[in-house]
Chains A and B, each alone.
Chain A
Amino acid sequence: DIQMTQSPSSLSASVGDRVTITCQASQDITNYLNWYQQKPGKAPNVLIYGASNLEAGVPSRFSGGGFGTYFTFTISSLQPEDIATYYCQHYDSPPYTFGQGTKLEI
């Protein structure tokens, strides 16, 4: 199975800050990576697909990058509504494992 390692596991930042989360795959997954946002009591919501493509309706302050085994997720200017837990997930081959999550706090 492909393991996904996210860093950091939690992050405290201020409104307006630039925030970056990383995700490392245990083997090459090209760009087969999605990023999800999950708010308490809700299902995850996809923000980025294919490592760097913004899902329709997602604010442009969210972005993703990377290829192969190393990926990044960035919020360019943190807003109060961005408080959530963020997960990476690969879709190279089953099982489509998730990272352990990054809890973002203000």
Chain B
Amino acid sequence: QVQLQQSGPGLVKPSQTLSLTCAIFGDSVSSNSAAWNWIRQSPSRGLEWLARAYYRSKWYIDYAVSVKSRMTINPDTSKNQLSLHLNSVTPDDTAVYYCAGGSKVIMAYWGQGILVTVSS
């Protein structure tokens, strides 16, 4: 059974960087059959897919255009985890952030979600 454990701060100041980590248990971040995603949810935006990383002999990473200039996701094979860094945050980035994984077509496993509030 795959489990995803998210960690990170719940409060970030405007203009700073939001950093979250998703630890993966029961699978490998570099699995040749898995893909790992970041999604966020807010009342104003609903569910918003942000980014995905997967390994098929090399790493492939996709980003939503809305965050591409500000976001980086990093797979860490030594710790078997995926991180998210979103810089220059504004209150509009306030949301519950989820990591989710599974195959390339199904996000079958989800983390518990972390509410991140952007406020001074």
Chain A contacts to B: CB under 8 angstroms: 1, 32, 34, 43-46, 49-50, 55, 87, 89, 91, 94-98, 100-101
User: Which chain B residues (3-52) contact chain A, with CB distance < 8 Å?
Assistant: 37, 46-49, 52
Is B82 among interface residues, defined by CB-CB distance under 8 A?
Answer: no
Interface residues on chain B, number (Cβ under 8 Å): 23
Closest residue of chain B to A96, judged by CB?
B49
Using Cβ atoms and an 8 Å threshold, which residues of chain A touch B102? 46
Say whether A95 contacts B105, CB under 8 Å. Answer: no
Query: Taking CB as reference atom, which chain A residue is nearest B112?
Result: A43
A45 vs B47: C-alpha distance when bound (angstroms): 13
The reply to whether A55 and B106 contact each other, CB–CB distance below 8 Å, is yes
- A contacts with B: majority SS: loop
Q: Which of B64, B105, B112 contacts A50 (CB 8 A)?
A: B105
**Nearest CB in chain B: distance from A97 CB, A:** 6
Q: Which of A46, A55, A87, A100 has the most CB of B within 10 A?
A: A46
B window 93-120: CB within 8 A of A: 98, 100, 102, 104-108, 110-113
Give the complex CA separation of A89 and B49 in angstroms.
9
What's the least CB distance linking A47 to chain B, in Å?
Answer: 11
Within 8 A of A (CB), among B42-80: 46-49, 52, 62-66
* Residues in A neighbouring B104, C-beta threshold 8 A: 91
| Contact present for A46 and B108 (CB under 8 Å) | yes
Chain A residues positioned under 8 Å from B46 (CB to CB): 87, 98, 100-101
Q: Please report the C-alpha to C-alpha distance between residue A44 and residue B112 in the assembled complex, in whole angstroms.
A: 10
Q: Is the CB of B110 within 8 A of A44?
A: yes
A-B contact pairs, 12 of them (CB 8 A): A43-B112, A44-B100, A45-B110, A49-B105, A55-B106, A55-B108, A89-B47, A89-B49, A95-B62, A97-B48, A98-B49, A101-B46
